[in-house]
Amino acid sequence: MQATMTVNETHNPALRSWVSTANIAGCDFPIQNLPFAVFRRQGSHESFRGGVAIGDQILDLAAAAQTGVFTGDAGTAVQAGAQDKLNALMALGPQVWHALRLALSHALREGATEQAALQTCLVPQAQAEYDVPARIGDYTDFYTSVYHATNIGKQFRPDNPLLPNYKWVPIGYHGRASSIGVSGQAFHRPVGQTMAPGATEPSFGPCKRMDIELELGIFIGGGNALGDALHMTEAEDHVFGICLLNDWSARDIQAWEYQPLGPFLAKNFATTISPWVVTLEALAPYRVPFTRPAEDPQPMAYLDSDANRQQGAFDIQLEVGIHTPKMREASQAAATVCRTSYRHAYWTVAQMVTHHTVNGCNLQAGDLLGSGTLSGPTLDQAGALIELTQGGKTPLQFANGEQRVYLEDGDAVVLRGWCEKPGATRIGFGECVGTVLPAKAR
């Protein structure tokens, strides 16, 4: 059994940390989590470096490397994590990742002798700013929610909403890595060509149907050589961890351009990810069986394995909030518009990685895969406004009297993710926040 699938001593709900805020009920970052990010102190000219979340603090890996506390594989991993991006750490592989997680767990537990040395290596998260965790060489966005695919298909192809290949093959397209930003990203409303209903020719101007896409991002760890496909049984050994991802979408631009070759300007202007990457090992208690309806085609042999059927899916709870300028002015919280779970995905992490490489495609450390919009089986679990408003026919009504069909200038979108169940410790992903600014004057 892969280490990433196995519950071990690092998941023990009884563990407590000498960082007291990690022991507070409902904390996103208890000692059982230990996710990674790249950070520096706000407003400083410090170099970015890797860090590990513990409670409301960050363990500075560059500072920790200087203490000499971590040795062996864990020491190698801390040195790699001290760099300005996590690519070197991601490339080390699951054995080294596990050694680091175990060493961190021991060093951060109540009563650990390492406390004296590591106490000075903590930086409050409230004083930190973040960068994208890795140098993302390539970004592939998948389409793993059958509910999202069907809902969108009904709007664009009412007579044939779900194309016949969907249930046989994990669908994806090559996205734009250069415009991926970390939580806090603010971007200008895109402009482009659109074709209004009933018009005889397109017009040019700012997008009028600005949308969100609730997704997860999957960071690749060690890559594979060009020509060497990854088998289902080894695919997850090449996955470092998971973050939150908002793949913003200009729906009116998309409707005009996406056939025959798929998304282009409707998608490449911005993608926002959360700073914290939660490792697959941290998520082991929240694995669930991968199932398919009996009447659907079952995965082809190369996309199937016993381990994937038994626990290839993850029960990650997901939430979308919209925070309008009016809400911010009134100090009101964001309005929750969607709650769903990653367990509803039609294709798993291992299947995405396996399919991506089956033709010999070489993945590299730091590459990012998007899950695609993670809509659940009912419309209140839809991860995009185009679904929640049924193509703009039923506006969302907020408690402060506002309503939205699509996003307006100044709106911020807040994604949250967490895992929670009796007998296991809550594991959180933090937040992924992005804000739409007015289109730039041309």
In the CATH scheme, what architecture does the domain 3-131 have? Roll (2.30)
Helix and strand element counts for the chain (H, E): 12, 26
How much of the chain, in percent, has pLDDT values that exceed 90? Answer: 94
pLDDT band at 154; cut points 50, 70, 90: confident
> For the segment 410-428, what is each residue's pLDDT rounded down to a tens digit?
999 999 999 999 999 999 9
Question: What are the structure tokens assigned to 179, written together?
Answer: 């415009």
**Cβ pair 158, 109 in contact under 8 A:** no
> Annotated catalytic residue: which of 45, 98, 106, 148?
148
What lies within 8 Å, CB to CB, of 324 at 6+ separation is: 335, 398, 400, 402, 404, 408, 410, 411, 412
Q: How far is CA 167 from CA 150, 261, 298, 315, 395, in A?
A: 11, 20, 8, 21, 31
Cα–Cα distance measured from residue 333 to residue 250, given in angstroms and rounded to the nearest whole number: 26
> For the segment 79-113, what is each residue's pLDDT rounded down to a tens digit?
999 999 999 999 999 999 999 999 999 999 999 99
Q: What's the whole-number average pLDDT of the chain?
A: 96
Residue located via tokens 């706000």: 42
Quick one: which of 103, 19, 20, 96 has its CA closest to 69? 103
Phi, psi of 214 (to 5 degrees): -75, 115
DSSP assignment of 111-128, as one string? T-TTHHHHGGGEEEGGGE
Q: Span 52-74, mean pLDDT?
A: 98
Q: Which of 213-217, 224-228, 231-235, 261-265 has the lowest mean pLDDT?
A: 261-265
Neighbour-count burial for 222-233, b at 16+ CB within 10 Å, e otherwise: bbbeeeebbebe
Question: What are the structure tokens assigned to 398, written together?
Answer: 């907020």
Question: What are the structure tokens assigned to 348, written together?
Answer: 């798993």
Report the largest interatomic distance among the alpha carbons of the chain, rounded to a whole angstrom: 74
Class for domain 139-437, per CATH?
Answer: alpha beta
**Cβ pair 276, 54 in contact under 8 A:** no
Is there a shared CATH topology between the 3-131 domain and the 139-437 domain? no
Residue 34 has pLDDT above 70, yes or no: yes
∠ Cα 265 269 273 (to 5°): 130
Phi, psi of 129 (to 5 degrees): -125, 155
Residue 1 has pLDDT above 70, yes or no: no
Strands 180-182 and 271-273: parallel
> For the segment 381-399, what is each residue's pLDDT rounded down to a tens digit?
999 999 999 999 999 999 9
pLDDT band at 125; cut points 50, 70, 90: very high
What pLDDT sits at residue 167? 96
CA 46 to chain centre: 27
Residue 3 has pLDDT above 80, yes or no: no
The residues spanned by each domain of the chain are 3-131, 139-437
What pLDDT sits at residue 426? 98
Is 344 among the residues known to form the active site?
A: no
> For the segment 316-365, what is each residue's pLDDT rounded down to a tens digit?
999 999 999 999 999 999 999 999 999 999 999 999 999 999 999 999 99
What pLDDT sits at residue 320? 98
Q: Helix %, strand %, coil % for the chain, to 5?
A: 25, 25, 45
What pLDDT sits at residue 2? 63
